[in-house]
Amino acid sequence: MTATAPAPAPSPGTKSDERLLKTSPLKKLLGRPELGSVVGAVAVFVFFAIVADSFVQATSLATVLYAASTIGIMAVPVALLMIGGEFDLSAGVMVTTSALVSSMFSYQMTANVWVGVLVSLLVTLAVGVFNGVMLTRTDPPSFIITLGTFLMLTGMNLGFTKLISGTVSTKSIADMEGFSSAKSVFASTITVGGVDFKITIVWWLALIAVATWILLRTRVGNWIFAVGGGEDAARAVGVPVAATKIGLYMGVAFGAWVSGQHLLFSYDVVQSGEGVGNELIYIIAAVIGGCLITGGYGSAVGAAVGALIFGMVSKGIVFAEWNPDWFKFFLGVMLLLATLLNHWVRKRAEATK
């Protein structure tokens, strides 16, 4: 059961009800939003496997997966938000905010670090609620609202950190109680067959599973597609538009909280000026994964594959020993190709319906 494309109009002369139209499994597969990105991911993988020998070692793939997961944890909720027809430009710095709040609260209160982690969850979710409420209660589009939040958070990250810690980075909390247990949850390493995998990969997979279940198996998922597809129509049939959008922003905030705690417990110190610009990377990952900028179409799995492509390209360039001056150029070319391929596959899939 997909709630994506509108059902095809019944051809004249059909007697059966088109809502009960049986589609073959292959056609179902071809109609999935993430199909194009999966093809793109395979193409990118094969390409780097050919040009860089070291790319296909298990340790290298673990590094690539880690890079993908740090983007993917955010790309999944951002994709949900985009399916709901909105943007969040504050997602990048929100990660840093979440890490800063957690670290500084624990340090200043000399509390068990888990207290800081939970306070940080509340603060980050509050930022998400703020974004959602501002959007649903006022007129400007989410692009403008969250641009404001982005600038405010960037300033607050730096301002508060300087004010409280006296420097531009937080103080180390590595010697405080609860640090090691929190580290094992957010930033530990799992060794499988001699290869170290970061726990963020597990978080990433869990988020993909939850997001996919919400989208495809629950009423909320239908609401998300509905508000993204047509807000007024959705409101007319009784979808709680405001609540859905606020919930989506809280989802992004939750992702930012997970990413932020990972940053904090990986490095036990947070730099206040980081995270700017990453919000675009999350959006790019979602778009490569088949989300439409206009909303109403996309998938969580697609966004995750988009993050994987991003991770493969950014690390593949290093493994292939290409000149780093051209790094951004290659990244742009790869992303463009992946998106075009994606689009082409989708067009083909729709043509066969």
Partner 1 sequence: MGCSSTGGKRAEDARKAAAAGGRAAVDTPRWTFGMVTHSGDGDTFWDIVQNGAKQAAVKDNIKFLYAHDDEAQQQAQLVDSYIDKKVDGIIVTLAKPDAMKGALARAEKAGIPVITVNSGSAESKEFGALTHIGQDETIAGEAVGDELNKRGKKKALCILHEQGNVGHEQRCEGAKKTFEGKMENLYVTGTNMPDVQSSIEARLQTDKSVDAVVTLGAPFADAAVKAKEGAGSKAEIDTFDLNEKVAAGLKSGSLGFAVDQQPYLQGYEAVDLLWLYKYNADVLGGGKPVLTGPQIITKDQAAELEEYAKRGTR
Lookup: tokens for 273: 């000026």
According to CB under 8 A, which one of 47, 114, 160, 267 is a site residue for partner 1? Answer: 267
Q: In sequence order, what are the residues at sequence separation of 6 or more whose Cβ sits closer than 8 angstroms to the Cβ of residue 100?
A: 157, 160, 161, 170, 260, 270, 272
156 binds partner 1 (CB under 8 A): no
Per rule CB under 8 A, is residue 150 in the interface with partner 1?
no
Q: Does residue 308 touch partner 1 according to CB under 8 A? A: no
Q: Does 18 bind partner 1 (CB under 8 A)?
A: no
Choice between 66 and 179, CB closer to partner 1: 66
169, 181, 185, 210: residue in contact with partner 1 (rule CB under 8 A): 169
Q: How many CA atoms lie within 13 A of 317 on its CB side?
A: 17
69 binds partner 1, rule: CB under 8 A? no
Output 226 or 264, the one with its CB closest to partner 1: 264
CB of 330 to partner 1, least distance (A): 13
Q: Are 325 and 105 in contact, with CB atoms under 8 Å apart?
A: no
Nearer to partner 1, 158 or 216 (CB): 158
Among the listed ranges 15-23, 219-227, 245-253, 320-328, the one in contact with partner 1 (CB under 8 A) is 320-328
Is residue 167 close enough to count as binding partner 1 by CB under 8 A? yes
Number of residues that bind partner 1 (CB under 8 A): 32
Q: Does 59 bind partner 1 (CB under 8 A)?
A: yes
In the numeric block, the tokens 């170290």 are attached to 196
Pick the piece of the chain touching partner 1 (CB under 8 A) from 8-16, 28-36, 216-224, 313-321: 313-321
The answer to whether residue 318 forms part of the interface with partner 1 (CB under 8 A) is yes
Closest C-alpha among 240, 109, 102 to residue 179: 102
- For 308, residues 6+ apart whose C-beta sits below 8 A from its C-beta are 41, 64, 65, 68, 72
Nearer to partner 1, 263 or 301 (CB): 263
Rank residues 168 and 280 by Cβ distance to partner 1 and give the closer one: 168
Binding mask 278-307 for partner 1 (x = CB under 8 A): x-----------------------------
Asked if 271 is part of the footprint of partner 1 (rule: CB under 8 A), the reply reads: yes
**What's the first-to-final CA gap in the chain, in angstroms?**
15
Q: Which of 5, 29, 122, 168 binds partner 1 (CB under 8 A)?
A: 168
- Binding status of residue 57 toward partner 1 by CB under 8 A: yes
Burial state string for 93-112 with b = 16 or more CB within 10 A and e = fewer than 16: bbbbbbbbbbbbbbbeeebb
User: In the window 91-110, what residues touch partner 1 (CB under 8 A)?
Assistant: none
Least distance CB 259 / partner 1 (angstroms) = 10
Of 78-86, 244-252, 285-293, 311-319: span binding partner 1 (CB under 8 A): 311-319
Report if residue 35 touches partner 1, rule: CB under 8 A: no
Q: Which is nearer to partner 1, 99 or 286 (CB)?
A: 99
Which residues are near partner 1 by CB under 8 A? 54, 57, 59-60, 63, 66-67, 70, 158, 167-169, 172, 263, 266-269, 271-275, 278, 314-315, 318-319, 321, 324, 327-328
